[in-house]
Amino acid sequence: MVSILSFWTHPGIRGGTILATIRNSTEHQQKVYERWAPVYDRVYRGLLRDGHRTAARLAAEAGRDILEVGVGTGLALPYYPEHCRVVGVDLSEHMIAKAREKVSRHRLGHVQALHVMDAHHLDFADRSFDAVCLPFVITLIPDPERALDECARVTRPGGEIIVASKLGDGRGIQGAIEEAVAPIVHRVGWSSAFRISRIAEWAERRGDFRVAEIRRVFPNGFFKVMRLKHRLDA
Ligand SMILES: C[S@@+](CC[C@H](N)C(=O)[O-])C[C@H]1O[C@@H](n2cnc3c(N)ncnc32)[C@H](O)[C@@H]1O
């Protein structure tokens, strides 16, 4: 047991380094979103509305039990149809507190629960949800493949994972600029250089999910919504 623990915590070993990176990044995200929580809705509501509406509608088409990962202040919650049962999780207790206020103020009866939780370790049983929705969060998660594996684990057979974010292809001048500004925008809790291919490669490696659709949304395709469908034949 001790040797297993020391493998995962020793900074000189790859597992330890990965865990230390996740821990640092997680603490960074918590600090950044504590500052964002009071002003987040005023800055982002309009900019992300199309992405939120599209992601919520696609998730609901996959079924009524939905998990939203990185739910933040709950800006997407009003867009799920009333017949859905939505559970939201987020790393930041300050963002979740805003989401709770919203649920009670707007009487969003379809929201079943909101929990503080890290996307790397989803505390739900296997196959709990018809759809897992990740609006504007995957690019901020230090180990996105691990988080996607968790989303896949809690998704029912034939269900879907819906990812909305700034997902680039890394090509041309835009790709070069996105790479160059990545360290700067990271400080304020944004991400610019995340590649759409990273998610497609994750799905291909696993073999039990396929990219079913990529939609370009406001503004002018800058953000994208990606549907990953569980393959019943895999
Ligand atoms: C840009 S905000 C998006 C919030 C909301 N989904 C929206 O679209 O308005 C990113 C959110 O992801 C959360 N987050 C970052 N890393 C996370 C992680 N590892 N697990 C869960 N939530 C995380 C942050 O706390 C923050 O609330």
Task: Say which DSSP state 149 is in.
Answer: H
Q: Are 87 and 115 in contact (CB under 8 A)?
A: yes
Paired with 169 in beta bridges are none
Token reading at 214: 């990529």
Enclosing H/E stretch for 226: strand 223-230
What is the per-residue pLDDT for 25? 81
What is the per-residue pLDDT for 185? 65
- Is the CB of 164 within 6 Å of ligand 1? no
What are the φ and ψ backbone dihedral angles of 39, each rounded to 5 degrees? -115, -5
Quick one: which atom of ligand 1 is closest to the CA of 40? 9
Q: Tell me the domains of the chain and their CATH numbers.
A: 2-230 (3.40.50.150)
Q: How far apart are CA 110 and CA 74, in angstroms?
A: 13
Q: How far apart are CA 53 and CA 217, in angstroms?
A: 10
Enclosing H/E stretch for 212: strand 209-217
6: CA distance to ligand 1 center in Å?
30
User: Taking the mean position of all CA atoms in its chain, how far away is CA 139?
Assistant: 8
**Tens digits of pLDDT across the chain (234 residues):** 333 222 222 333 345 566 766 677 888 889 999 999 999 999 999 999 999 999 999 999 999 999 999 999 999 999 999 999 999 999 999 999 999 999 999 999 999 999 999 999 999 999 999 999 999 999 999 999 999 999 999 999 999 999 999 998 767 777 677 777 777 767 666 666 789 999 999 999 999 999 999 999 999 999 999 999 999 988
**Count of all residues that appear for the chain in the document:** 234
- Is the CB of 91 within 6 Å of ligand 1? yes
- Is the CB of 137 within 6 Å of ligand 1? yes
Give the predicted TM-score (pTM) of the model.
0.89
89: CA distance to ligand 1 center in Å?
9
- Is the CB of 88 within 6 Å of ligand 1? no
What would the pLDDT profile of 198-219 be if each residue is shown by its tens digit? Answer: 999 999 999 999 999 999 999 9
14: CA distance to ligand 1 center in Å?
26
